[in-house]
Amino acid sequence: MMHDVIVVGAGPGGSSAASFLARRGISTLLLDKADFPREKVCGDGLTPQAIYWLDRLGCAEEVLAETKGCIHSCDLYINGRHALTGGFPDGTAYPNFAVLLDRRRFDHAIQRNALAHGARFRGGCVVRGVERDADGVTVSARTRGGGTEQFRARIVIGADGVASAVSRAIGNELKQGVAAISLRTYYRDVRIEGAPIKVYFDRSYFPGYGWLFVDDDGLANIGLGYAVDPTFPAPQGLAATFRRFLETELAGPLAKATRCGAVSGGSASFYRPHAIVDDRVMLIGDAANQADPLNGGGIHKAMESAFLAAEAAARALESGDFSRRALSHYETLWKQHIECDWQTAEIFLTIAKNPSLRDFCLFVLEQIGRLTTEDNRFQDFCAGVFSGVVSQSLCLSPRVLYHAFPKDLGAWRAFLLANGGLGGGPIRLARGAVASLASAGAMAARDPLPNLDWSMEVATKVLRLATRQVAEFGGAARQA
């Protein structure tokens, strides 16, 4: 049987794509190696953007009814000290809260939504290959019991996550750039003060963070992950680092808590694959490495890319043109809506991944935290950029930065007091900055070759983003 579209992978990306396609009357087959419901290692945090996309799918109410409490704020700790409490800003396209829901129930809700709109589902199909010919695509899968089955469609959407078989089938090599590895577990009877989402930066696992996400019943999703990169050796011992995190940073909240889940590993990739579109094929979500490089959140990105890919698929089916050129409409939409923010976040991650700059980055983050304490607007801006609710590329705009930074003298006074007083504060700040930069210089000098590669990488990425911004600015000026 010839389907219009086969979607490989029924996570948030694949099921959203299937739902967006099926509701247009497009015959859609959703394949997954698992049967649903199934587990997925995750922080279980549904950002305001994810709630927005659930609303677009028409299942926000159903999902929200399963969650325990709306989350309006997040505490950030740096090197063991509380640095800032930030909220999700009002007045954006998104709600001003996040929620927590385990992926077993969340992914199942979206998969059910796709089926309710007419998509068909086959579980227990491990996709192994994708062969294209003049008339369509053949997807080969190993089925339960060890047999092989083939499915036919006009277009395939690869939504099969970080180890995507579809991505490999169109020539991408996986594990080519910066990635993140993480461990996660669950505790019950967790007692906390302050915000129910807590994020921990520490020099022993930067760039990366530990997290403690607690629902209203005291059930916590706890994890820790950090970036690993081919240029710099990985920090040693994720398991030991995670154990230390539980025993030290989380000793208070976990004092009366009991572990109620296995410690499981997960990974994500944060580099551009060679292609996200090819003849008859598109990649979305983690299969296209689209998670946010700044905070690792990828559920909403997968859902947004699903929407854009469904638009492109519908257009291709209408025109009968399934070539790479026709499907690159998806890539164009992605670039218009998301790429600039993604590239900005990628530059921040690239800078932070250099171990020589670890102390300097944490020093800057700590100062930003101090500056937010007396200025709610600046606090919202910083929390918004970290969560991606505020467009991340905005923090490269001098005009936006000028408006965002505190103008109130009280905020600067509090900032200097927190840094050692009105008189000594500036001196202490300058000393802190110089010391962390000097140690960065010394470390870089001891290991010049990786640092040279890294400088080129940063320069290339900055240049690529700048070229893009100039082209967009030129286009906007011509239209005006």
Ligand X SMILES: Cc1cc2nc3c(=O)[nH]c(=O)nc-3n(C[C@H](O)[C@H](O)[C@H](O)COP(=O)(O)OP(=O)(O)OC[C@H]3O[C@@H](n4cnc5c(N)ncnc54)[C@H](O)[C@@H]3O)c2cc1C
Q: Report the interface residues with ligand X, using CB under 6 A.
A: 8-14, 31-34, 40-45, 47, 50, 125-127, 159-161, 165, 182, 184, 223, 225, 266-268, 285-287, 291, 296-300, 302
What is the closest distance, in whole angstroms, from the C-beta atom of residue 317 to ligand X in the complex? 22
What is the closest distance, in whole angstroms, from the C-beta atom of residue 265 to ligand X in the complex? 8
Instruction: Please say whether the beta carbons of 242 and 212 come within 8 A.
Output: no
Choose between 162 and 414: whose C-beta lies nearer to ligand X: 162
- How many whole angstroms separate alpha carbon 43 and alpha carbon 213? 7
Choose between 226 and 415: whose C-beta lies nearer to ligand X: 226
Choose between 342 and 415: whose C-beta lies nearer to ligand X: 342
Residue 84, beta-bridge partner list: 76
Choose between 354 and 387: whose C-beta lies nearer to ligand X: 387
Nearest alpha carbon to residue 63 among 98, 32, 23: 98
What is the closest distance, in whole angstroms, from the C-beta atom of residue 281 to ligand X in the complex? 14
Choose between 267 and 367: whose C-beta lies nearer to ligand X: 267
How would you classify the pairing of strands 45-46 and 28-31?
unpaired
Instruction: Tell me the residue nearest to ligand X as measured from the CB.
Output: 298
Nearest alpha carbon to residue 103 among 254, 341, 302: 302
What is the closest distance, in whole angstroms, from the C-beta atom of residue 271 to ligand X in the complex? 15
Please state whether the peptide bond connecting residue 48 to the residue before it is cis, i.e. omega within 30 degrees of 0.
Answer: no
Choose between 26 and 50: whose C-beta lies nearer to ligand X: 50
DSSP E strand stretches across 64-178: 73-78, 81-87, 99-100, 120-122, 126-132, 137-142, 148-158
- How many whole angstroms separate alpha carbon 252 and alpha carbon 248? 8
What is the closest distance, in whole angstroms, from the C-beta atom of residue 126 to ligand X in the complex? 5
List the helix and strand counts (H, then E) for the chain: 15, 18
Tokens of 477: 């000026």
What is the closest distance, in whole angstroms, from the C-beta atom of residue 90 to ligand X in the complex? 21
What is the closest distance, in whole angstroms, from the C-beta atom of residue 344 to ligand X in the complex? 18
- How many whole angstroms separate alpha carbon 324 and alpha carbon 19? 23
Choose between 311 and 447: whose C-beta lies nearer to ligand X: 311
Choose between 104 and 377: whose C-beta lies nearer to ligand X: 104
Name the residue type at position 404.
A
Instruction: Please say whether the beta carbons of 206 and 361 come within 8 A.
Output: yes
What is the closest distance, in whole angstroms, from the C-beta atom of residue 293 to ligand X in the complex? 11
- How many whole angstroms separate alpha carbon 366 and alpha carbon 250? 20
Q: Taken in order 470, 473, 479, 480, is the CA torsion positive or negative?
A: negative
What is the closest distance, in whole angstroms, from the C-beta atom of residue 111 to ligand X in the complex? 9
Choose between 9 and 136: whose C-beta lies nearer to ligand X: 9
Tell me which H or E stretch contains 471.
helix 448-479
- How many CA atoms are closer than 13 Å to the CA of 196, on its beta-carbon side? 20
Tokens of 170: 């169109």
Choose between 388 and 432: whose C-beta lies nearer to ligand X: 388
What is the closest distance, in whole angstroms, from the C-beta atom of residue 46 to ligand X in the complex? 7
What is the closest distance, in whole angstroms, from the C-beta atom of residue 328 to ligand X in the complex? 20
- How many CA atoms are closer than 13 Å to the CA of 392, on its beta-carbon side? 21
Residues 6+ apart with CB under 8 A from 378: 371, 372, 404, 405, 406, 411
DSSP-assigned letters across all residues of 299-329: HHHHHHHHHHHHHHHHHHHHHT--SHHHHHH
Q: Taken in order 457, 461, 466, 471, is the CA torsion positive or negative?
A: positive
Choose between 101 and 317: whose C-beta lies nearer to ligand X: 101
- Cα 37–Cα 43–Cα 48 angle in degrees, nearest 5: 95
What is the closest distance, in whole angstroms, from the C-beta atom of residue 270 to ligand X in the complex? 11
Residues 6+ apart with CB under 8 A from 101: 44, 46, 63, 66, 67
DSSP code, position 3: E
Choose between 97 and 405: whose C-beta lies nearer to ligand X: 97
